Amino acid sequence: MKNLLIVHGPNLNLLGEREPQIYGNDSLKTLNASIECFAEKMGLQVKSFQSNHEGALIDFIHEQRNWAEAIVINPGALTHYSYALRDSIAAVNLPSIEVHLSDVNQREEFRKISVIKDVCEKQISGLGKEGYLRAVEYLVGLDVLNKLQGSNPDSKGRDETLRMVVKLLKESFPKYSWVGIYLVEGAELVLHNYMGKPSPHTRIPIGQGICGAAVHEKKSIIVDDVNADPRYLACSIETRSEIVIPIMSGNKVFGEIDIDSDLEAIFHDSDQEILEKCAAVLAKLF
């Protein structure tokens, strides 16, 4: 994925002035600049557009449908009643995410209604500017997942597919400093392949370290600060946070996706959701 639309609906032109206690102090220009800078680091081109008019938003989506590969949209009040905008998103058939600066589920009853949500991959609300950035990351993650599913893993073979996943994840997410896949061999996890600095931990007993704990407990683990977690087996002095996703089918664990970042508290539920979907595809290879 290379081309992304950022679409803002009615009244978002007044960001920074309109109810800053709810919508924040950043202007729309500042918000767009932050999104575009973030997207550029992920190798994306962005076209941003705002209008107070339903038809103008629909026209923009239609006009850009052959250029764009995904959409992040904050429909504003149109969220609650614009079936025309909903149908335009459905018609162009691009992966889309609905974003709201405020937590719409904690406000007036009418704001809890979205006629847009069912044609979007997900709704993100209440995170302010961060919600847009997470939407961008989620769409990139979906692109990785689609490439994995579209590559026909069964025909490629297990080893080639595992290498491809490591490469896709490392190259798609700048915040991923180290990406590796461990496979279960007896009572140990054995490092199959990785991208990043060499790790001294090529074999980890199940139950030891954060990696061993994820397999032993059969659940994903996110650690915001590895230096505060006594389970952490130091690989690099730069590492600050970690996410580990078991590759499993039913109750059987075959391995795990292990990702480190040099940034603290950088992993969130969207990372976990996409990585668990990738792990589910990989589990079929075993």
Domain CATH number, residue 85: 3.40.50.9100
| 33 Cβ neighbours under 8 A, 6+ residues apart | none
Check pLDDT > 90 for residue 252: yes
154 band by pLDDT with thresholds 50, 70 and 90? low
The answer to whether residue 236 sits within a structural domain is yes
Span 113-142, mean pLDDT? 96
Final residue of a structural domain among 102, 121, 143: 143
Same domain, 59 and 138: yes
Check pLDDT > 80 for residue 191: yes
Q: What is the pLDDT of residue 235?
A: 79
pLDDT of 175 reads 98
- Tens-place pLDDT, residues 155-168: 668 899 999 999 99
In a domain, 278, yes or no: yes
What is the pLDDT averaged over residues 92-108? 92
**Average of per-residue pLDDT values in the chain:** 94
What pLDDT was estimated at residue 153?
66
Residue of 52 and 19 predicted with greater confidence: 52
- Considering the domain architecture, whether residues 186 and 265 belong to the same structural domain is answered as yes
* Number of domains within the chain: 2
Q: What percent of the chain has pLDDT over 70?
A: 99
Residues 134 and 56 grouped into a single domain: yes
Domain end, chosen from 85, 112, 143, is at 143
Do 159 and 85 fall into the same domain? no
Is 258 domain-assigned? yes
Whether 40 and 58 share a structural domain: yes
Active site residues: 23, 100
> Is 107 inside any structural domain?
yes
Q: Is there a single domain that holds both residue 108 and residue 133?
A: yes
Q: Is 29 part of any domain? A: yes
Same domain, 121 and 26: yes
Q: How confident is the model at residue 23 (pLDDT cuts 50, 70, 90)?
A: confident
Phi first, then psi: what are they for 267, rounded to 5°?
-95, 145
116 and 181 assigned to the same domain: no
Give the number of residues written for the chain: 286
Q: What is the mean pLDDT of residues 131-135?
A: 97
**Confidence band (pLDDT; 50, 70, 90) for 108?**
confident
Q: Which of 4-8, 18-22, 55-59 has the lowest mean pLDDT?
A: 18-22
User: Is 148 inside a domain boundary?
Assistant: no
What residues make up the domain containing 174?
A: 153-283
Query: Which residues have a Cβ under 8 Å from the Cβ of 155 and sit 6 or more positions away?
Result: none
**C-alpha span between 255 and 253 (Å, rounded):** 6
Burial category of 22 from C-beta neighbours within 10 Å (exposed 0-12, middle 13-18, buried 19 and up): exposed
Indicate whether 273 and 184 sit together in one domain.
yes
Q: Which amino acid is at 80?
A: H
| Nearest in space to 219 (alpha carbons), one of 247, 241, 197 | 247
Cα–Cα distance measured from residue 211 to residue 223, given in angstroms and rounded to the nearest whole number:
11
| Contact in structure between 197 and 186 (CB atoms under 8 Å) | no
Q: If you average pLDDT over residues 276-282, what whole number do you get? A: 96
Last residue of a domain, one of 93, 125, 143: 143
105 and 206 both lie in a single domain:
no
The answer to which of 128-142, 192-206, 211-225, 227-241 has the lowest mean pLDDT is: 227-241
Same domain, 183 and 164: yes
Could you tell me if residue 276 is inside a domain? yes
Asked whether residue 118 falls in the same domain as residue 171, the answer is no
pLDDT of residue 268: 96
Q: Residue 252 maps to which CATH number?
A: 3.30.450.40
Residue 155 has a pLDDT of 67
Give the residue-averaged pLDDT of 2-30.
89
Task: Examine residue 34 and state whether it is found in any structural domain, yes or no.
Answer: yes
